[in-house]
Amino acid sequence: MAPDAVLFSVRGLLVALALVAGSAAWAPVAEAQAPSRPSATLCTGSSVGPGIAPPARVPSGIPDFHAAWYGQSGYPTLCPGERSNAVVAYYNSGSRGWVKGRMGEVAYLGTWNGDPGQDEPTVLGGNGEMGTPQTGWPRFNRVALQPSDYVGPAQVAWFQFTIQAPERPGFYRLYIRPLVEGAAWMEDVGVYWQVTVLNPDGTPPAGRISSRVPAPIDDTAPAWAPAELDNVGFTQPPESGIVLSGGTKGSWTSAWVLTRFPFSQLIPSWIADTPAGSWIEVEIQTRSAAGRETRWWRMGIWASGDETIRRTSINGQSDADGVVETDTFKTRAEKMTAYRARVTLSRSTATGAPPVLRRVYAVASDTRSYTPRYPSPRYTDRAMELSVPRYSQEIHAGEFPQYDGGGEAWCSPTSTEMVVEYWNKRPSASDMAWVGPYADPQVDYAARYTYDAAYRGTGNWPFNTAYASHFGLEARVVQLGSLNDAERFIAAGVPLIASISHAPGALPGFLNNAGTSGHLLVIVGFTASGDVIANDPAALSNATVRRVYGREAFERAWIGGSGGVAYRIGNTVVP
């Protein structure tokens, strides 16, 4: 008997899907609809591509539960926030029927490898749980339920679902696989939807983005107002910062900042001008979901110079709510949902030049409850490498041991100095006169002016970004969720300083095969195969600083080590 034919419309294009002998369990009519666009958007150019026809032949009557892909609607191109309906057909190629509402017999489509991963939540759709948008899916990791009550052997089920474009432009993929819930995953033939999310102006995106719900990271910056002002005022224009009004001491306390999720870690960073004789102290206070406020946590006493005060973190801060580990606040069992910042501005004398607070940032995260997947998908297949100066920390071994024992431990300031000079900034010859005859005196200079007296080291994260900002650069501590995120920065011309740690032998090519509990280096590029090109200061000479590290091994050392902590230095906007 000849196959029946079923037609459905995809943005005006009729796509014929032939059904094998046996009836269709449910047939859609014009289900693959044109995207729905919010009226306020400026983006244009959304569309749905042609449908994909079924194969000429499919297997049939295989014992137990089985499914064969049988065609699908086309790939959508969407503006940020738009929605599009999708349809995929699966032929029941097994010997047992699919029964809606009966565990062990009901058929679903589930999220699958490679992106977002088996049973993982995705930014492209869901039920509003686990960070997914509410698009009417049965669950956050179940894309669609069989539409009819019963799909017998040799019948076709037409699964339909809604996709929502994320706000970030890019090429996304949603891999799906049919399953009988509680019994078995059925055949995996690599079925996916490619979703193109245009830029806000309607132009094509630059690269691929993972469709998995990203790590819970919230990059925040408290507004200058409303705030509590104590003997401080706004600079002119007001967005330029906070300045001490008179006397020797004053403070600015921000309003409460609500984070997008309960966080277990918070890292502040800042930009400030501290003329000779002045300094600042940065504190944060956190609040629970029930509204209970913690103590104030002291996150650092800082000045760009060291003539007046000793730049330092504050040891010994711990209670039932949390602990400060040098530059990072970590909660105990109860996570927090809001924070506020207080910055005290001080100077030695009332007639001295006042300090100016230019910016406060805080990156909140809950990476301890998130399991990364390695390796992340490529953002682009092209090779990229930035021309970042190369400096070795090892050639400074034994120099100025009062700063963390000398250059062998100076991975952070050496990396920071490389990136500062990438932006054509550096200390002047007169600034470095005290260094003497040593090679690359700017590395010694950076070590001195990032040194943390309590930590007894030069690896305090916000002290390094504050050092870079002293040269007129935007600089802050951030966290990224994957190397896919890092590739966006490199593509925009922005190198990143990454904090890594790894077990012995876990990062082939690293200078010390014994591993490291903490190390910083500069991500300067990616090979065509996606491996990381780094300027690694753990090198015996400047000539050997450039290294290539395997993508997965490096990602495990970075994301699995520090949770993706990085220094983001530079004034370039990264899309």
pLDDT at 415: 98
Residues 427 and 464 in one domain: yes
pLDDT at 36: 60
Residues 281 and 395 in one domain: no
Least confident segment among 8-17, 67-76, 297-306, 438-447: 8-17
The predicted model gives 387-412 an average pLDDT of 97
- Dist. CA 269–CA 476, nearest whole Å: 6
Residue 446 lies in a domain: yes
- pLDDT of 329 > 50? The answer is yes
Residues 61 and 9 in one domain: yes
Residues 104 and 187 in one domain: yes
| Per-residue pLDDT tens over the stretch 91-116 | 999 999 999 999 999 999 999 998 99
The predicted model gives 34-43 an average pLDDT of 58
| CATH number for 171 | 2.60.40.10
Q: Identify the burial level of 381 via C-beta atoms within 10 angstroms of its C-beta, where 0-12 means exposed, 13-18 middle and 19 or more buried.
A: exposed
**Neighbour tally for 372: CB within 10 Å:** 18
The predicted model gives 2-30 an average pLDDT of 36
Residues 336 and 392 in one domain: no
- pLDDT of 72 > 70? The answer is yes
- Dist. CA 367–CA 479, nearest whole Å: 10
Residue 372 lies in a domain: no
Residues 175/115, Cβ–Cβ less than 8 Å: yes
pLDDT at 2: 31
- pLDDT of 6 > 50? The answer is no
C-alpha of 209 from chain center: 11
Strands 249-254 and 227-230: antiparallel
| CATH number for 283 | 2.60.120
Residues 533 and 393 in one domain: yes
Residue 227 lies in a domain: yes
Residues 331 and 389 in one domain: no
From start to end of 119-169, where are the E strands?
142-145, 150-151, 156-164
Number of domains in the chain: 3
Residue-number span of the structural domain to which 243 is assigned: 217-365
| Per-residue pLDDT tens over the stretch 272-307 | 999 999 999 999 999 999 999 999 999 999 999 999
Residues in the chain: 575
Q: What percent of the chain has pLDDT over 90?
A: 89
- pLDDT of 33 > 70? The answer is no
pLDDT at 35: 63
Residues 336 and 394 in one domain: no
pLDDT at 18: 36
What backbone phi and psi angles, to 5 degrees, belong to 320?
-70, -20
The predicted model gives 469-487 an average pLDDT of 97
Tokens read off for 136: 């009417």
pLDDT at 9: 33
Maximum mean pLDDT: which of 7-11, 14-18, 110-114: 110-114
The predicted model gives 518-546 an average pLDDT of 98
Tokens read off for 552: 């997965």
pLDDT at 573: 84
| Per-residue pLDDT tens over the stretch 157-182 | 999 999 999 999 999 999 999 999 99
The predicted model gives 459-483 an average pLDDT of 97
The predicted model gives 131-147 an average pLDDT of 98
